[in-house]
Amino acid sequence: MLPTEEEFDEEDIALYEHHRIAVDKGQSLVRIDKFLTEKVANATRNKVQQAIDNGFVLVNGLPTKSNYKVKPFDDIRVMLPKEPRDTEVIPENISLDIIFEDAYLLVVNKPAGMVAHPAHGNWTGTLVNALVYHFQQLPEMKGNVGRPGLVHRIDKDTSGLLVIAKTEEAMTGLAAQFYHHTIERTYWALVWGDFQENEGTITGHVGRSAKDRKVMDVYPDGSQGKHAVTHWKVLKHLRYVSLIECRLETGRTHQIRAHMKFLGHPLFSDAMYGGDKIRKGTQFSKYKSFVENCFQIMPRQALHAKSLGFVHPITKEKLFFESSLPDDFQGVLERWENYVQFE
SS3 string of 216-265?
A: EEEECCCCCCECCEEEEEEEEEECCEEEEEEEECCCCCCHHHHHHHHCCC
pTM score over 0.85: no
pLDDT tens-digit series, residues 264-317: 999 999 999 999 999 998 888 999 999 999 999 999 999 999 999 999 999 999
Positive or negative, the CA dihedral 90, 96, 99, 101 is positive
Best CA proximity match to 265, nearest among 175, 343, 194, 340: 194
Amino acid letter for position 5: E
Please give the Cα distance from 68 to 128 (Å, whole number): 43
Q: How confident is the model at residue 2 (pLDDT cuts 50, 70, 90)?
A: very low
Residue 274: partners with Cβ closer than 8 Å, 6 or more residues away: 261, 266
Decide: 313 and 287 in contact? Cβ < 8 Å. Answer: no
pLDDT tens-digit series, residues 137-195: 888 876 566 688 888 889 899 999 999 999 999 999 998 898 888 999 999 999 999 99
Rounded (10°) CA dihedral 194, 200, 201, 207: 0
Looking at the annotation, which residues are catalytic? 155
pLDDT reported for residue 1: 28
